[in-house]
Structure 1
Amino acid sequence: MTAGVTIRTVHDVARLTAVADHFSDVWRTPRTAPPYPAEVLHSLVHAGGAVHAAYDGRRLAGASVAVLGPGHSTYSLVAAAEQGLGHPLKRAQRAWAVGLGARTMRWTFDPLVGRNARFNLVKLGAVGTEYLVDFYGPMSDGVNDGDESDRLTVTWDLGVPGASPEAEVRGAVLRSAPDGAPLARRDPAGRYVWCRVPEDIVKLRAADPALALRWRHAVRDVFLDAFTEGFRATGMSRDGWYTLTREGAGA
């Protein structure tokens, strides 16, 4: 835990409104039109979900929202925190879920955001289990506007949280990226596929939306083909390469 930071569940309208404002600031929407309004958060809490808030002293520095899923599962709807607080928030969500008897937690994220992929797949040890094409349809917030909303679903086994090992990127080039360099590689034994994402998709989308969309479609094609063959996303290197591992393959 970062010194001076506390994480707790919140239930009252005032604190939930502050969480809604926080999400507005992160996704660059007017506070009058937050991506998750306070009344929606209040309803989710009333229905048995949890809103966790991270406070640096009295200042709200991060928040996450989770709900119960079918069977022994939970679903994390949204999370946004300042640097260094993402892991404590996820641990708090895990403790809440395990306390309810849950065995897994799922959530989605933009697969082109490499830092989030590394956090989810490597630091937490979750696995990318489903590729969703244009999941939300057109989005008009200040982060995603002008792009298609593809998402990667990850599944986190709450019984074995922890980092995943990384496989070295090697093998024959399958496809080239929009920048002309390799986009995807495959090892000769067919156990792994590697797929590269741009260094910073948010900056690229702001500077050249058309190029960002070409990256979106290129990565989408690799993932859809790989997932059809039984691969799952299991890692992300520091230089932006996903590791996709065929189910049942050894290390």
Structure 2
Amino acid sequence: MKKGITIKQITQLDEVKQVQHIEQLVWQMNPIPFHQVYTAVNNGGILIGAYDGDEIIGFLYSFPGYKEGNVYLCSHMLGIHPDYRKNGLGTKMKKLQKDIALQMGYKLIVWTFDPLESANAFLNLHKLGGIGRIYIENHYGVMDDALNSDLPTDRFLVEWWIDSKHVADLRDKSKKTDFPTNVIEYTDKGFPIIADSFNPVTDATVPVPIQFQKMKKEDLQLAIDWRYKTRRWIQQLIADGYAAVDLTQYPEEKINLYRFERVSMLLL
């Protein structure tokens, strides 16, 4: 029974240990050693917990990163108990992460996500204002957990420029990308298929299936086909100077559409 949800930054060792329970529940694998997480949060990292009363129901873990003379925050894990999903907890934790990161002097937060997990894309791009202009093939290699097995672990690298005009203004949410009705078909099970004639450059869009995990369980070959087609389309747009900036949802058509804009036009 929900007693009242609270979200706060975690800094104490006993609270860090509590996170391991929800981490193991969400990913069904061994959690990060608590002493590593505790060290990170005391050296520039940020750990956020969501609670129902005294029970931890979600967490968001990030640690400092460094490349080419620039310091940024690596947002490594966001996990929410299955009974508390789809109620905005992820967005609330990310916004608290942003506020704390700005206070600490960070300007950029980065993380990765599977481009075919469009619920994550909707949060990362549409709600938060992140952008995707780096696509990494098979980033983690072979993984055997339930979410990643049987497919290359391709990832978008999200750049969240938390002090930018792009994030402050976000984008006009009334802008809706046209659905590509001329190239969509469906299998006997109702899964979408995109014709080989689809050209992402025409409208700077890339479609992805809504129920990708269900597709993977019931039609693995189709899921593999989606992986390689979307990889090719996204890499083509990135090579042409575009970045993914939004995701439009079409639940009735069982498709979501990434929208891309030229990086030179973004106010980062």
Which category of TM-score, normalised to the shorter sequence, fits these structures?
0.7 to 0.9
Is the contact made by 2:184 and 2:192 (CA closer than 8 Å) also made in structure 1? no
Asked whether the 8 Å contact 1:169–1:194 carries over to 2, the reply is no
One-letter amino acid matched to 1:9 = Q
2:238 counterpart SS class: helix
- 2:171 is aligned to 164
Secondary structure of the residue aligned to 1:140 is coil
Q: Which has the larger displacement, 17-26 or 175-184?
A: 175-184
Q: How far apart are the structure 2 equivalents of 1:27 and 1:228?
A: 33
Report the counterpart of residue 55 of structure 2 in structure 1: 59
RMSD of equivalent CA atoms: 2.8
Change in Cα spacing, 1:126 to 1:61, as seen in structure 2 (3 Å) is same
**Equivalents in 2 of 1:174, 1:225: separation in Å?**
18
Residues 8 and 235 from structure 1, CA distance in 2 versus in 1: closer, same or farther, beyond 3 angstroms?
A: same
1:195 to 1:182, Cα distance in 2 relative to 1, 3 A: farther
Q: Could you tell me which runs of 5 or more consecutive residues in structure 1 were left unpaired when the two chains were aligned.
A: none
- Determine if contact 2:200/2:237 at 8 Å carries over to the other structure: no
Using the alignment, how far apart are the partners of 1:241 and 1:111 within structure 2? 11
Q: 1:172 to 1:143 in 2, by over 3 A?
A: closer
Query: What residue in structure 1 maps to residue 253 of structure 2?
Result: none
Identity %: 26
Higher helix share: 2
- Structure 1 214/69 Cα, relative in aligned 2: closer, same or farther at 3 Å? same
**1:47 aligns to what?**
43
**What secondary structure, in the 3-state scheme, does the structure 1 residue paired with 2:204 have?**
strand
Deviates more, 1:121-130 or 1:201-210: 201-210
Alpha-carbon distance, 1:122 to partner: 0.8
Alignment-derived partner of residue 136 in structure 1 = 140
> Which structure 2 residues correspond to residues 85-96 of structure 1 after superposition, within 5 A?
85-96=89-100
- 1:203 matched to 2:202? The reply is no
Matches within 5 A, 1:183-202: 184-186=198-200, 192-202=203-213
TM-score, normalization: structure 2? 0.80
Deviation at 1:142, TM superposition (A): 2.1
1:96-107 matches, within 5 Å, as 96-107=100-111
Q: Tell me, in whole angstroms, the C-alpha distance in 2 between the residues paired with 1:40 and 1:111.
A: 29
Matched residue of 2:213: which SS?
helix
TM-score by length of 1: 0.85
Change (3 A) 1:162 1:15: farther
Size of the alignment, in residue pairs?
Answer: 242
Q: Tell me, what secondary structure is at the counterpart of 2:209?
A: coil
Please tell me whether the aligned partners of residues 13 and 38 of structure 2 are also in contact (alpha carbons under 8 angstroms). Answer: yes
Question: Does the C-alpha gap of structure 1 residues 249 and 170 become closer, same or farther in structure 2, counting only changes over 3 Å?
Answer: farther
Query: Aligned to 2:246, what secondary structure does the other structure show?
Result: strand
CA distance in 2, matches of 1:17, 1:98: 26
What does residue range 1-251 of structure 1 map to in structure 2 within 5 Å? 4-29=4-29, 33-34=30-31, 36-70=32-66, 71-81=70-80, 82-83=85-86, 84-159=88-163, 160-161=167-168, 163-165=170-172, 166-169=175-178, 179-182=192-195, 184-186=198-200, 192-239=203-250, 240-249=256-265
- What is the Cα deviation at residue 19 of structure 1? 1.2
Instruction: Tell me the SS of whatever aligns to 1:197.
Output: strand
> Counterpart of 2:264 in 1: which secondary structure?
coil
Question: Would the aligned equivalents of 1:106 and 1:153 in 2 still touch at CA under 8 Å?
Answer: yes
Distance 2:71 2:176 in 1: 31
